[in-house]
Amino acid sequence: MGIEILEFDREHAVARMPVEGNTQPLGLLHGGAYCVLGESLGSMHANYLAGEGRFAVGVDINATHTGSATSGWVTGVCRPIHVGKSLTVHEIAVTDEGGRRCSTIRITNMIRQAKN
């Protein structure tokens, strides 16, 4: 997929992904590619926030595509909108190189205790 992590801290995670190589037959960035970028960011960030001895697993994801990237790169900015003891919810805004929002993804992760 060519995803590159650009920033990663407690408040947010940012990554970019090339459109080339991730398109559907009409030459638009594939809707599933937006979801891969969103789930990658949301799941990694949830695991980061889960803490030692705990891990996050995705239980729900949805995406609303409002634009179509056809070239260059898209950038996903992931921010937690809920961080609890058992669930996290993240929103990922994906924009094209012109700053136009192309997709909004929301992912919910369940926090689990690692088994010894």
CA distance 58 to 47: 10
In single-letter form, the type of residue at position 73 comes to: W
In single-letter form, the type of residue at position 115 comes to: K
CA distance 111 to 57: 7
Concerning whether 39 is annotated as a catalytic residue, the answer is yes
- Candidate list 4, 7, 20, 39, residue with the active-site label: 39
Give the DSSP per-residue string, 25-86: TTSSBPHHHHHHHHHHHHHHHHHHHH-TTEEEEEEEEEEEE-----SSEEEEEEEEEEE-SS
Q: Which residues are catalytic?
A: 39
